[in-house]
Amino acid sequence: QEIRKVVQALEQTAREILTLLQGVHQGPGFQHIPKKCQKAREHFGTVRTQMESLKTKFPADQYYRFHEHWRFVLQRLVFLAAFVVYLESETLVTREAVAEILGIEADRERGFHLDIEDYLSGVLTLASELARLAVNSVTAGDYSRPLRISTFINELDSGFRLLNLKNDSLRKRYDGLKYDVKKIEEVVYDLSIRGLNKEATVGAGGEK
């Protein structure tokens, strides 16, 4: 019961961060990305406090016995942390960096930690969000962003291809990545047909 209470509080904070970050998809949202990321990071301060509370609700060696209680919200928080880091630097957040943002451990031996499969699930959710961002970037007149997202997602896809995914739910999520790659490729192709990718390359200082 006590674990459930803290998890509900975490879910609420995650919803607040998600609502905040969804604003980047709206037309004027692109100008406010740094401000939204800064606000989101403030919310992660609340997440760290809630995580501290969660750690006290069960014996440290029984992490996997209760894992199902917080697995979903943890994956969602990984996605949100990864989205913030991507918006800030257009790089993929490491598992260690996510653990730090959430105030938990990266190593299993050290107690309450970020399970590798929870990290990978969160990253796959990021891919879907970026596919959506690529489409909305075009609507907002930002033609270089989809090209950069395409490069990032293709590198991500290459990384996932190297993994031997045994977990069924993770395997299904990974199958969804193929659709995200295809969706972004269609956006980039559409830009090239309309000659807008040349415009984007010039606007990005000659870089793709």
Q: In this predicted structure, what is the pLDDT of residue 141?
A: 87
The span from the CA of 152 to the CA of 166, in Å, is: 24
The domain total for the chain is 2
Beta-carbon contacts of 38 under 8 Å, excluding residues fewer than 6 positions away, are none
Q: In this predicted structure, what is the pLDDT of residue 178?
A: 92
For residue 93, how far is the Cα from the chain centroid? 8
Report the C-alpha dihedral over residues 199, 204, 205, 208, rounded to 10 degrees: -90
The span from the CA of 201 to the CA of 170, in Å, is: 35
Q: In this predicted structure, what is the pLDDT of residue 199?
A: 59
Same domain, 129 and 169: yes
Same domain, 33 and 79: yes
Phi/psi-derived region of residue 205, left when phi > 0, alpha when psi is between -120 and 50, beta in every other case: left
Q: Identify the domain boundary among 87, 113, 139.
A: 113
In a domain, 92, yes or no: yes
Q: Has 16 been labeled as part of a binding site?
A: no
- C-alpha distances out from residue 159 to 23, 26, 60, 204, Å: 29, 30, 32, 26
Same domain, 124 and 97: no
List the Cα angle 120/125/127 in 5-degree steps.
Answer: 95
Same domain, 98 and 71: yes
Q: In this predicted structure, what is the pLDDT of residue 164?
A: 85
Query: Which regions in the chain score pLDDT beneath 70?
Result: 167, 197-208
Q: In this predicted structure, what is the pLDDT of residue 102?
A: 97
- Supply the CATH number for residue 169's domain: 1.20.58.200
The span from the CA of 158 to the CA of 94, in Å, is: 16
Residue 127 identity (one-letter amino acid): A
Q: What is the pLDDT of residues 190-203, one digit of tens each?
A: 999 988 766 555 44
Q: Identify the domain boundary among 113, 134, 151.
A: 113
Q: 100 lies in which domain range?
A: 1-113
